[in-house]
Structure 1
Amino acid sequence: MSKRIEADDVDIYYGKFKAVEGVTMTIEPRSVTAFIGPSGCGKTTFLRSINRMHEVIPGAYVDGKITLDGDNIYDPGVDPVTVRGLVGMVFQRPNPFPTMSIRDNVLAGYKINGRRLAKSDADDLVERSLRGANLWEEVKDRLDRPGSGLSGGQQQRLCIARTVAVNPKVILMDEPCSALDPISTLAIEDLIRELKEDYTIVIVTHNMQQAARVSDVTAFFNIEGTGKPGKLIEMGPTEKIFSTPDVRATEDYITGRFG
């Protein structure tokens, strides 16, 4: 189910401004990769380029190649909507559709794309997706109530269920716990560990402890100064990055000397 992601010399622009420069990396299937680095270093911009969300911003574009199991998602004939079906995204703040029930939130991806399901198939998909997000037992008796009525941590797991429902191969998470309390954060981290059995997961986080806890691989991004592009400085097994990084700037960031 999961796919290998490979980036080859990727530059990312907002109009004439180069926001990210020269990123080359490989992200293995069934793993969790954490992007860390100071604010403004390009880690979220690069994350959004993996499912072509970056280019929804007027004037934004990508140079270079990003592949999923060898298929370039930026080839001219590739539909960005198809890419976003393969590469789901969970955002910083939980964003269930406020007018939709819990059930309809899970099914939203199908409805938006005009796909119809028989009621029994829809019921099975809702239960399977909510179980996959460790939320079923908490909401199974109130599926017709608004998703916005759930707690913050439950809303974020509902958003993960909505992402899982459309059967992606990769799940991107942009600081998924930054708006959550410690107990909800722990629940999301436990879920991330379970999800990597079936998906390739990439997470942006400012929480060094979280990166150390949940990721297999860590990529450190940095920026030389205002107006300069962000760059990938170092990437490797999380244990090594956090104990014996090769680059001094990586150690300085992880230990809190800057950032």
Structure 2
Amino acid sequence: MSKRIDAIDFNVYYSKFLAVEGVNISIEPKSVTAFIGPSGCGKTTFLRTLNRMHEVIPGARVEGKLLLDGDDIYAPGVDPVSVRSTIGMVFQRPNPFPTMSIRDNVLAGIRLNGKRISKGDADTIVEKSLRGANLWNEVKDRLEKPGSGLSGGQQQRLCIARSIAVEPDVILMDEPCSALDPISTLAIEDLINEMKDQYTVVIVTHNMQQAARVSDKTAFFNIAGTGKPGKLIEYAETSTIFSTPREKATEDYVSGRFG
């Protein structure tokens, strides 16, 4: 598991509107990469292109190449559903299926992909995934209870368990802690640090301290003004971005002078 991502001269459109322009980036396997930048600069839009999630919006399209270990995920004939099973996503707000049990939430992705599994295999996947999300010990005695009955932080870890149950190579996270309290945030951050041993992790965050704590590399996106496309301004080791960035705009943003 864990794969390299390369974007080459990558543009993202919504119909005729150019939302993100000219991204060139290489994301290493078994690493955590943070996308930072002001609201509306395209970081979440670009994140959603990494597993073709943006295509659920009518008129959304891309130009350029997006490679997963050298294979273009936008090449003709590539199934977006198979891409999304390889590149999982955790959203800003925890979104367990409210009518499903904790157990069925974990297995939902596997079943949605039409995969038939025995009860024994299902039990193994549920335990392995919940352990991987650091949730097993908290829920092992109530697996048949609704996932919606968990706390916000537990629900987010349940969503992470659901993502890793399908054995992805990459996990994308769109502000996964923005709706959580500090203790739950710490639990998710600890989990992210553990996950990079197995997965390539990409996280969008508005929390500069969080980016500094969890990521190996940081990409700063910015926008010149309303109606202009978002652009990748600087991409480097996280320690460099926060101490000696190359671009003044990066320095101004991470120091809190704008954004």
- After TM superposition, give the deviation of residue 115 of structure 1 in Å: 1.1
Letter matched to residue 3 of structure 2: K
Q: Do structure 1's residue 12 and structure 2's residue 22 form an aligned pair? A: no
Could you tell me which residue of structure 1 aligns to residue 97 of structure 2?
A: 97
Q: Do structure 1's residue 33 and structure 2's residue 33 form an aligned pair? A: yes
Letter matched to residue 117 of structure 1: I
Equivalent-residue separation in structure 1 for 2:36 and 2:247 (angstroms): 14
SS at match of 2:211: helix
Could you tell me which residue of structure 2 aligns to residue 215 of structure 1?
A: 215
Equivalent-residue separation in structure 2 for 1:27 and 1:203 (angstroms): 12
Could you tell me which residue of structure 1 aligns to residue 139 of structure 2?
A: 139
Equivalent-residue separation in structure 2 for 1:54 and 1:118 (angstroms): 34
SS at match of 1:67: strand
SS at match of 1:107: helix
Letter matched to residue 87 of structure 2: V
Equivalent-residue separation in structure 2 for 1:224 and 1:166 (angstroms): 39
Could you tell me which residue of structure 2 aligns to residue 167 of structure 1?
A: 167
Among all aligned residue pairs of Structure 1 and Structure 2, give the percentage whose two residues are the same amino acid: 78
Letter matched to residue 115 of structure 2: R
Equivalent-residue separation in structure 1 for 2:149 and 2:125 (angstroms): 21
Q: Considering only aligned residues, what root-mean-square deviation do their CA atoms show, in Å?
A: 0.4
Q: How does 1:130-209 map to 2 (within 5 A)?
A: 130-209=130-209
Could you tell me which residue of structure 2 aligns to residue 244 of structure 1?
A: 244
Equivalent-residue separation in structure 2 for 1:77 and 1:114 (angstroms): 20
Letter matched to residue 55 of structure 1: E
- After TM superposition, give the deviation of residue 243 of structure 1 in Å: 0.1
Equivalent-residue separation in structure 1 for 2:197 and 2:140 (angstroms): 24
Q: Do structure 1's residue 62 and structure 2's residue 62 form an aligned pair? A: yes
Letter matched to residue 52 of structure 1: R
Where structure 1 has 5 or more consecutive residues not aligned to the other structure, the ranges are none
Letter matched to residue 226 of structure 2: T
Equivalent-residue separation in structure 2 for 1:55 and 1:9 (angstroms): 19
Equivalent-residue separation in structure 1 for 2:111 and 2:167 (angstroms): 14
Q: How does 1:44-123 map to 2 (within 5 A)?
A: 44-123=44-123
- After TM superposition, give the deviation of residue 77 of structure 1 in Å: 1.1
| Per-residue deviation, residues 201-235 of structure 1 (Å, max 9, x unmatched) | 00000000000000000000000000000000000
- After TM superposition, give the deviation of residue 120 of structure 1 in Å: 0.5
Equivalent-residue separation in structure 2 for 1:179 and 1:71 (angstroms): 35
Deviating runs (4+, > 6 A) in structure 1?
Answer: none
Could you tell me which residue of structure 2 aligns to residue 3 of structure 1?
A: 3
Letter matched to residue 43 of structure 1: K
Q: TM-score when scaled to structure 2? A: 1.00
SS at match of 1:121: helix
| Per-residue deviation, residues 18-48 of structure 1 (Å, max 9, x unmatched) | 0000000000000000000000000000000
Could you tell me which residue of structure 1 aligns to residue 227 of structure 2?
A: 227
Equivalent-residue separation in structure 1 for 2:35 and 2:236 (angstroms): 11
Equivalent-residue separation in structure 1 for 2:242 and 2:148 (angstroms): 38
